[in-house]
Amino acid sequence: MAVHESLEEGARLFHIRRYDRALEEFLKIDASQFDVVDNMELAYYLGLCYTRLNRHDDALLYLEQVVTAALDPLRVYQCRLTLAYIYVITGRSKLAEFELGRLMNGGYESIQIYTTMAYAAWAQKQFQKAVDFYEKALDMDENNATALNGLGYILADSDTDSTRGIKLCRRAVDKRPQNPAYLDSLGWAYFKNGEISEARIWLRRAFELAPHEREIKKHMKIVVGEG
């Protein structure tokens, strides 16, 4: 199969979520036969594949190539957002803020940027800043489950407004009833509001779906005595 056909096949596999197979196809390619544009196309897909497969250090290498080359503004936007996501989940929140700040300074605005900025702020214990970003996300879409859950959790966890926190978390759960993180947030919000029996119900549901999640285990230990 010619190199361009391999690139097309890898892209096809990626878009049907066969990330492992797509990665195998991309790694077969001899990039020396590509021009700059094709090499950035390959780097883009390699970065996204590695991200989907949770191989974050490998992903960073290729995503940064796409951002540095700056050939396609939409690809740069997506890769900066993906870089920020990786930095947040790997505990590098300041780097996440840097990437997201570059996007916002460039005139980009989206719910995903605001929710990621909020999470990065929360990870640095900048609670009011996180609340403000989640509020901005909800201004753009009042039914966004990520923003509902994030804002609800912070309001309850920080003892700012646990009653509103419960309402927001409940709306997120109504939209994604099988999401263990949302179930956990709702359970924790009930706990922070002093409603222990209700808290145990939701935390147990979260634990059943994701028994190895550290935050859920911690909340179960505190509220239920298990985990």
User: The tokens of 136 are what?
Assistant: 């901005």
Asked if the model's pLDDT at residue 2 lies above 80, the reply is: no
Range with lowest mean pLDDT among 87-96, 128-137, 145-154, 191-200: 87-96
Residue 208 has pLDDT above 80, yes or no: yes
Q: Which of 191, 195, 178 is nearest to 221 (CA)?
A: 191
Name the DSSP class of 55.
-
Q: What is the pLDDT of residue 63?
A: 96
- For residue 64, the model assigns a pLDDT of 95
Residue from 122, 169, 177, 123 nearest 146 by CA: 169
Superfamily of domain 1-108: Tetratricopeptide repeat domain (1.25.40.10)
User: Is the alpha carbon torsion for 60, 133, 141, 180 positive or negative?
Assistant: positive
* Whether the domain at 1-108 and the domain at 127-227 fall into the same CATH topology: yes
Select, from the ranges 7-11, 79-83, 163-167, the one with the highest average predicted confidence (pLDDT): 163-167
- List, for residues 11-24, the tens digit of each pLDDT value: 999 999 999 999 99
Q: What pLDDT digit, counting tens, does each position of 113-134 carry?
A: 999 889 888 888 889 999 999 9
Q: Which amino acid is at 89?
A: I
Inform me whether the pLDDT recorded for 199 exceeds 80: yes
Q: Which fold has domain 127-227?
A: 1.25.40
pLDDT digits (tens, 9 = 90+) for 25-73: 999 998 888 899 999 999 999 999 999 999 999 999 999 999 999 899 9
Q: Cα(75)–Cα(72) distance, rounded to whole angstroms?
A: 5
DSSP 14-49: HHTT-HHHHHHHHHT--GGGS-HHHHHHHHHHHHHH
Highest mean pLDDT among 12-21, 85-94, 100-109: 12-21
Domain segments of the chain as ranges? 1-108, 127-227
